[in-house]
């Protein structure tokens, strides 16, 4: 089973469980969800009615925590730690993994210095171990560790939950991409049609040249003393009608008369 399928199953399980419980029981579920090794999307859990009902209760801070894991980063948590529950080690790891995904959305070349600053990692060895063991091997990113340039070159990064209000922007981006793709396809089709026309013209020209050469061969069989040079000489004979079938025919008649 692929990582996406596993994550889908995990999301469905948490959504089902969240739909059947309320209050303090949801707190435990949110902690479990934000600590789960295969879960990197949280918008479905945020949309569960029983979770939404935590607003205005003593547990509302856990909705903020869940929203942080849906859209935020480790830096965001540090800036708001005084207003959020303390994280357990698995949550810290998860939030740092999610931070990598957010950074990879904006830039496909991430410097080691930037990553160490964002993740509170003190040395390159620790950073590379984190990228390999907790990101690449987990399947949330693919890329190359460039030790010479001291950067991580991102080739693929899993997507995160859409922030509220981002859906319209995403739809517009996809619409623009589709329009551009349609124009490119039309241009490619026109190029293919033009190439096909040129191919047909080349075939006609080749056929014409071959016909001239055959006529020249027949003519030279009857007039061996004539020497032809370039193809232009053949063209002159061809246009002048010297190689016409009439002349070749009369030549044959004279030959038969002499017999």
Q: Over 80: is that where the pLDDT of 224 sits?
A: no
Of 165 and 126, the one with more pLDDT? 126
Mean pLDDT of the residues in the chain: 85
Task: Please give the Cα distance from 181 to 119 (Å, whole number).
Answer: 38
Q: Which of 172-176, 184-188, 210-214, 220-224 has the highest mean pLDDT?
A: 184-188
Please classify residue 158 by burial: count the beta carbons closer than 10 Å to its beta carbon, then call 0-12 exposed, 13-18 middle and 19+ buried: buried
Q: Over 80: is that where the pLDDT of 218 sits?
A: no
What pLDDT is stored for residue 222 in this prediction? 67
**Reported confidence tier of residue 255, pLDDT bands at 50, 70, 90:** very low
Query: Which pTM does this prediction carry?
Result: 0.67
What pLDDT is stored for residue 163 in this prediction? 76
Q: In this predicted model, what pLDDT tens digit does every residue of 82-105 receive, in sequence order?
A: 999 999 999 999 999 999 999 999
Give the residue-averaged pLDDT of 118-144: 96
Q: Where are the domains of the chain?
A: 3-157, 166-258
Q: Over 70: is that where the pLDDT of 244 sits?
A: no
Q: For a pLDDT cut of 70, what percent of the chain falls above it?
A: 81
**Reported confidence tier of residue 251, pLDDT bands at 50, 70, 90:** very low
What pLDDT is stored for residue 19 in this prediction? 95
Q: Yes or no: say if 46 and 66 are a contact pair by the CB < 8 Å rule.
A: yes
> For 153, how many CA atoms within 13 A lie in the half-sphere containing its CB?
7
Q: In this predicted model, what pLDDT tens digit does every residue of 63-78 receive, in sequence order?
A: 999 999 999 999 999 9
Q: Over 50: is that where the pLDDT of 34 sits?
A: yes
C-alpha closest to that of 51 among 67, 35, 37, 71: 67
Q: Which of 188-197, 207-216, 222-231 has the highest mean pLDDT?
A: 188-197
Q: Over 80: is that where the pLDDT of 188 sits?
A: yes
Q: In this predicted model, what pLDDT tens digit does every residue of 140-179 receive, in sequence order?
A: 999 999 999 999 999 999 999 987 766 566 566 777 778 8
What pLDDT is stored for residue 254 in this prediction? 46
Of 143 and 207, the one with more pLDDT? 143
Task: Please give the Cα distance from 69 to 30 (Å, whole number).
Answer: 10
CA distances from 233 to 173, 210, 211, 224 (A): 62, 15, 14, 15
């Amino acid at each position: 089973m692929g990582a996406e399928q596993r994550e889908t199953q995990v999301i469905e399980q948490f959504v089902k469980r969240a739909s059947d419980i309320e209050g303090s029981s949801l707190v435990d579920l949110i902690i479990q969800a934000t600590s789960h090794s295969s879960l990197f999307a949280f918008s479905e859990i945020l949309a569960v009615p029983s979770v939404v009902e935590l607003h205005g209760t003593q547990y509302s801070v856990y909705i903020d925590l869940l929203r942080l894991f849906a859209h935020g980063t480790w830096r965001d948590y540090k800036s708001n730690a005084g207003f959020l529950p303390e994280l357990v080690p698995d949550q810290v790891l998860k939030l740092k993994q999610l931070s990598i995904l957010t950074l990879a959305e904006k830039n496909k070349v991430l410097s080691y210095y930037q990553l160490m600053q964002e993740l509170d990692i003190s040395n390159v060895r620790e950073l590379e171990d984190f990228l390999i063991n907790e990101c690449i091997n987990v399947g949330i990113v693919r890329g190359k560790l460039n030790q010479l340039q001291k950067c991580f070159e991102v080739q693929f990064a899993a997507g995160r939950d859409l922030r509220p209000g981002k859906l319209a922007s995403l739809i517009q981006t996809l619409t623009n991409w589709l329009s551009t793709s349609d124009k490119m396809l039309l241009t490619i089709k026109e190029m293919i049609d033009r190439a096909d026309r040129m191919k047909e013209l080349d075939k006609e020209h080749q056929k014409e040249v071959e016909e001239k050469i055959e006529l020249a061969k027949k003519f030279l069989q009857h007039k061996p003393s004539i020497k032809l040079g370039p193809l232009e000489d053949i063209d002159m004979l061809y246009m002048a009608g010297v190689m016409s079938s009439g002349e070749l025919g009369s030549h044959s008649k004279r030959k038969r008369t002499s017999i």
